[in-house]
Structure 1
Amino acid sequence: MSTRSELVIQDLVKAVREVLWRHDVTFEEYRAAVGFLMKYTKGPEFEVPLTCDMLFNATISDIEMKHRKGSISNLEGPYFLEAVPEIADRIKTRGEQGDELIIEGRVTDLAGNAVEGAQLYIWHSDSQGFYSGFREDLPTDLYRGRKVIGPTGAFHVRTTMPAPYTIPHDGPSGELLGFLGRHPWRPAHVHFKVRAAGFVEHTTQAYFAGGQWVDSDCVEGVRPALVHEPEERGGAKVLKINFVLDPA
């Protein structure tokens, strides 16, 4: 009996061969493609996972939802960090940069019951599109935090609006985007991860309606159900989002 790895690899090879036949790819084109792939061996380590995430991560998230009934999952991205400060009701930001953003909602099970004790991780870029912990001038206690959910399941967190940013595009990943006629921009978004005993870990993102690049995300991660229209409250934008967890 074939292993799962064998079946997947065989189908991948078959699919590539079918594409080569369909487009009558020449030997010169084939060698050029191999030469392009060799650029990854000379580039930074992150280039291979970057390209894989750029092309396939969103699809894997969609496939996961075939087996879930709770909230829609989405990309984790490369900027998640385990060691982040526990927060009460505010994420620490740098000064007063960026418009204020309030994030509120509930964490529940499929029946609507609060999931007390769930760990809600929130992280996003600063107003310039940079992530803390990945720049020397942005320590890891900024623009990210972990909220412990109480008995009602509700949460209310203040932070600032994130900004669009480009993925690294001065290497082969960016060159590949050029071949595809695509830009390197991601729309502004907030990342979430929810962990709770007895439940499947939930990872997702929230995007903002009308935001730049929402309709042409370079990693094709935006899904209609994840695009939110923030309310206005006291000069702040309010993102209302609930997380419904699937049982483990």
Structure 2
Amino acid sequence: MPMESEQLEAVVMDIVAGIRDAIIKHHVTVDQYRFAVDYLGRLADARELPLLLDVFLNVAAVDAENEVTKGSPQAIQGPYYREDAPAVTDRLKTLDHDNERPLVVRGQVRDIDGSVLPGAEVDIWHSTPTGKYSGFHDNIPVDYYRGKLTSDSEGAYRVATTAPVPYQIPNQGYTGALLEAMGRHSWRPAHVHFKVRKPGFKTVTTQVYFEGGQWVDSDCCSGVRDDLVRRTTQEDGVDTLTVDFVLDRAA
């Protein structure tokens, strides 16, 4: 949704003021400034601008939205969402990998008053055991490792799948070079994506991370928050991730 002109002017001028202040504070030279302009031009030509913005700024927009939400916390969506994910009942389609680990994802959907919400769509997607995403990498069909569930009469959902793994964002271009020059890495911790929808309610788009997982404390996209980290439990010898959702009424 585009901004109104007054909001747009305020946001743009605050961004410009912040950049100007940083240039002065850190004594950036004219040559360094011209180098940065050239870098941004090359990055735009390589079509990496969305990647750079998502790495550094997406989480700020999420945090701003979370300041006014009454439902479950939002998180960054990431670039690998597919609206055309298939409807599923109790299992996501997975490939046979030697290193895959079974995982059950379950939970319940309620409104902010605590009433259960049957018929909510719980859209789930996550990486393969090799850190890829269906519909984007290695010609993996879009109906693998993603699917849309419907909460039952008690607002509950449950699906069997395999555990995701940490992976690197595209790091061979200008964004990766910048992270490396800053002394940072390009890894994201293992996580499961969710988009929960029901007519009359605000959509919750979020990610959930695994307690003790690698890179949880240093996500390259700064997307991890304490309330998004979960500890798995064991059910019949299978790791189980429980994620409940609270939906706020739409305006």
TM-score by length of 1: 0.96
Question: Secondary structure of the equivalent of 1:127?
Answer: coil
Gaps of 5+ in 2: none
Aligned-residue sequence identity (percent) comes to 45
Distance 1:207 1:132 in 2: 19
Runs of 4+ in structure 1 deviating by more than 2 angstroms, as ranges, are: none
- Of the candidates 6, 22, 46, which is equivalent to residue 25 of structure 2? 22
* CA 146–2 in structure 1, closer or farther in 2 if over 3 Å, else same: closer
Distance 2:179 2:59 in 1: 16
Conserved? CA contact 2:121–2:197, under 8 Å? yes
- Of the candidates 215, 227, 230, which is equivalent to residue 228 of structure 1? 230
- TM-aligned CA deviation for residue 96 of structure 1: 5.7
Distance 1:41 1:70 in 2: 36
Supply the AA of the counterpart residue of 2:22.
V
Supply the AA of the counterpart residue of 2:59.
A
What's the counterpart of residue 77 of structure 1? 78
Distance 2:39 2:6 in 1: 31
TM-score by length of 2: 0.95
Matches within 5 A, 1:26-175: 26-43=29-46, 45=47, 47-95=48-96, 97=98, 98-175=100-177
Deviating more after overlay: 33-42 vs 186-195: 33-42
Aligned residues: 246
Conserved? CA contact 2:194–2:207, under 8 Å? yes
- Of the candidates 166, 181, 194, which is equivalent to residue 192 of structure 1? 194
Question: Secondary structure of the equivalent of 1:214?
Answer: coil
Supply the AA of the counterpart residue of 2:68.
H
Gaps of 5+ in 1: none
Note the aligned Cα RMSD (angstroms).
Answer: 1.4
- TM-aligned CA deviation for residue 176 of structure 1: 1.5
Supply the AA of the counterpart residue of 1:205.
Q
